[in-house]
Amino acid sequence: MKIKLQQKKTLPTKLNINSISNWLMILAHPLDKTISKESKFPHQTQLLNRRSQLNLKKADSEPVVMDLPNQNSSHVAFAAIESSISSFDLLTLARKMVAEHSTSNPAQLGIVVSGFSDADSERMAEALISAALAASATMPKFKSEKQTAFKLSKLSLFGLHARHGFKQSFATAEGNALTRSLSMLPPNKLTPTEYLKEIKQIARENKWKLDFYDEATLKKKKAGAFLAVSQGSPKADAGIVRLRYTPKTATQGKKVFLVGKGICYDTGGTNLKPANYMFGMHEDMQGSAVALGTLLALSKLNFNRPVECWMALAMNHIGPKAYKPNDVITASDGTTIEIVHTDAEGRMVLSDTLALASKEKPSLILDYATLTGACMYSIGTSYSGVFTNKKEWHEDLIKAGEDSGERVWPFPLDEDFDDMIKSDIADVKQCSQESGVDHILASRFLQRFVKYETPWVHMDLSASNRKGGLAHIPTDTIGFGVRYSVNLLLNNYLR
Q: Which residues are catalytic?
A: 273, 347
Other beta carbons within 10 Å of 58: 10
d(CA 466, CA 310): 26
Which backbone phi and psi does 200 adopt, to 5 degrees?
A: -60, -40
Check if the beta carbon of residue 230 is closer than 8 Å to that of residue 215. Answer: yes
Measure the N-to-C terminal CA separation of the chain; round to a whole number of Å: 36
Other beta carbons within 10 Å of 484: 27
Check if the beta carbon of residue 374 is closer than 8 Å to that of residue 439. Answer: yes
Per DSSP, which regions of 267-413 are E strands? 307-316, 328-330, 336-338, 364-369, 384-388, 408-410
Spatial neighbors of 113 by CB under 8 A, at least 6 apart, are: 25, 26, 121, 124, 125, 128, 157, 158, 159, 160
Residue 30, preceding peptide bond in cis (omega within 30° of 0): yes
DSSP codes, 432-467: -SS-S-HHHHHHHHHHTT--TT--EEEEE-TTSB-T
Give the pairing of strands 364-369 and 428-429.
Answer: unpaired
Encoded amino acid at 416, one letter = D
Length of the chain in residues, anyone?
495
d(CA 443, CA 440): 5
d(CA 416, CA 349): 24
Q: Cα separations (Å) of 457 from 336, 366, 390, 430, 450? A: 24, 5, 8, 20, 10
